[in-house]
Structure 1
Amino acid sequence: MLNIDQFELYSVAIITLLAVISPGPDFAMVSKVSLLKGRKEGVLSALGISAAISVHLAYTLLGLGLVFANNIWVLNTLRYLGAMYLIWLGVSALWPDIKNLLSKRENKTSNSTATSDSDVQSKTSSFWAGFSCNALNPKTMLFIVSLFSQVISDTTPIILELGYGIYIACAHFVWFSLVACLLTSKAVQGKVMMFKVWIERITGTLLAAFGIRLLCE
């Protein structure tokens, strides 16, 4: 029978919940996918985020997490990759407006802009969008490494550590699935089509802003 440290258990539970619900790139990604592509795609994006937790968990349990955290070049590489990915997502969402500004042409109608952008989005996988967003987020890496090195004891059995990892992944999936369901409710969806272009612009700006912030940190 496992000897579970109650303080450690509650600490992991509370810290994880606080980390999951805090706004960040994952929240912006799920919001964007859910509002523009529907509930199913939003949940798939949440599943991708949850699956990416296993990547961070794997190298942390193997002891590589501390190696990565103590080597600044690894953190910087991950930070640059994550930042460039977020900026690329943001610029992709804003590209119709950027193209119009650069060419000094009149803005196209909202319908044509939304349709062309939807065609681009339909070619991408919502699951892999969520997976990449979380896997390339250095803050998620530092959160899990810090949790397992500072909160979870060295004497904690590996089976319990795996249980913590499953809990962290499930917490991400449940929270972001709830976000996707809330944003795709009838009350919200009834207004989405009226502001679809602006939703694309706002979420694109947020994703790019998160990327720029990563580069500047």
Structure 2
Amino acid sequence: MFDLSSLSTFVVIVLGLFLIPGPAVLLVLSRTAQAGRKTGVMTGLGIATGDFVHTVFAAVGLSAVLMTSALAFNAVKFIGAAYLIYLGVRAILEKQGDPSLPKLPAVTPAKAFLQAVPAEVLNPKTALFFLAFMPQFVHPERGSVFLQFTVLGLIFVVLSSLYTTLLALSIRPLGRVVKRLSWISRWQGKIVGSIFISLGLKVATQHR
């Protein structure tokens, strides 16, 4: 269903996405700093659960689009390619700084999990990214479109869980490493942005 090259590219893009601090990462960092590693880990798992909900919506919705019209599905892919290029340009141009962590009221690990799920489900940027990102790796000629979306989404969810868990468990030593390697913060946006633009251009110019 998937070849090694496609899956490797998918994983690299997802990991690159995680390197750009967004609301989900800041939420995990805030909860960890505020209430400890366990709360941070549970927050990350709540975010991953929200990502799974997005996966189901994308799989059902975009599979229905493909069944209705192959032309419409290709249009979705083209719009998605344009969005990936936009993300890449934005990442390259954005000035990297030390993001300030939001101050949140104290919660238990269970409550942190329950709060993180709807926060991620209702994040429009996450929904848009799923709709733009997933179709680039789905090929109807390789089998069930719904199954392809589901597999890719589950890979995303697993990587998200592992990343946020690692982040929560290593927040202090990781912070010291990042301070020593200041070039990471200066170049990560440009590197990730270039990857997004390359993927977007590849999709926009490939034969359909």
TM bucket (normalised to shorter chain) is: 0.5 to 0.7
Residue 82 (structure 2) aligns with: none
Residue 52 (structure 2) aligns with: 54
Give the secondary structure class of the aligned counterpart of 2:141: coil
Aligned partner (choices 176, 179, 183) of residue 167 of structure 2: 179
Q: Structure 1: 5+ residue runs without aligned partners? A: 71-88, 95-116, 189-217
What is the 5 A alignment of 1:107-118?
117-118=105-106
Residue 135 (structure 2) aligns with: 149
* Inter-partner Cα distance in structure 2 for 1:176 and 1:58: 21
- Tell me the TM-score normalized by structure 1: 0.55
Give the secondary structure class of the aligned counterpart of 2:140: coil
Larger Rg: 1 or 2? Answer: 1
Give, as a single letter, the amino acid of the residue that structure 2 aligns with 1:181: L
CA distance 1:45–1:156, shift in 2 (3 Å) = farther
How much has 1:144 moved relative to structure 2?
Answer: 1.4
- Tell me the TM-score normalized by structure 2: 0.57
How much has 1:181 moved relative to structure 2?
Answer: 0.4
Residue 140 (structure 1) aligns with: 126
Give % identity: 24
Q: Structure 2: 5+ residue runs without aligned partners? A: 66-71, 77-100, 177-208
Contact 1:42 1:177 in 2 (8 A): yes
* Inter-partner Cα distance in structure 2 for 1:61 and 1:123: 30
Give, as a single letter, the amino acid of the residue that structure 2 aligns with 1:19: L
- For residues 7-30 of structure 1, the C-alpha deviation after alignment (integer angstroms, 9 at most, x for no partner) is 322221111111122210001100
Report 1 or 2 for greater relative contact order, CA contacts < 8 Å, sequence distance ≥ 6: 1
Root-mean-square deviation (CA), in Å? 3.2
Give, as a single letter, the amino acid of the residue that structure 2 aligns with 1:136: L
CA distance 1:51–1:9, shift in 2 (3 Å) = same
Contact 2:49 2:157 in 1 (8 A): yes
- For residues 52-71 of structure 1, the C-alpha deviation after alignment (integer angstroms, 9 at most, x for no partner) is 1111111111125979xx8x
Count residues in correspondence.
140
Contact 1:45 1:130 in 2 (8 A): yes
Give, as a single letter, the amino acid of the residue that structure 2 aligns with 1:167: I
Aligned partner (choices 27, 30, 38) of residue 28 of structure 2: 30
* Inter-partner Cα distance in structure 1 for 2:9 and 2:119: 26
